Amino acid sequence: MRRTPIALTLLSLLGSSTAFAQVTLPFEGFLTDANDLPITAPFDVVVRLYDTPDATVPVFEETHTAVVPFDGFFFVTIGAVEPLAQTVFAAGELYVGVTIVGEDVEL
């Protein structure tokens, strides 16, 4: 399992720093099928944030439904489905895990 680190510099993308601001993170990816062809059909995806690369319990999790890719490229906003508390960032560096619903492997 390979997780991608999210640097704290992304906090500048979070918008307002007020205590009541909705915290979100933009996330994009590229998916291919078993033949290395770009995915074009909508899919559901589970996004998880971890505080260490080897963590088994996420500090945050949400499911995005009917994500529509464009020639394999997709975009979701982490924190748009479930509230993303600013306290999640207290651990420092975070790691993102992505699972396509129906698949067993976390990317």
Tell me the pTM.
0.78
Q: Are strands 25-30 and 4-6 parallel, antiparallel or unpaired?
A: unpaired
pLDDT at 42: 97
Mean pLDDT per 10-residue segment, the chain (107 residues)? 49 46 89 94 96 94 96 96 88 91 89
pLDDT of residue 1: 52
Radius of gyration of the chain (CA): 14
So what's the pLDDT on residue 16?
44
Give the model's pLDDT for residue 54. Answer: 93
Inter-residue contact 62 to 54 (CB < 8 Å): no
Exposure of 98 in the CB half-sphere (CA atoms within 13 A): 19
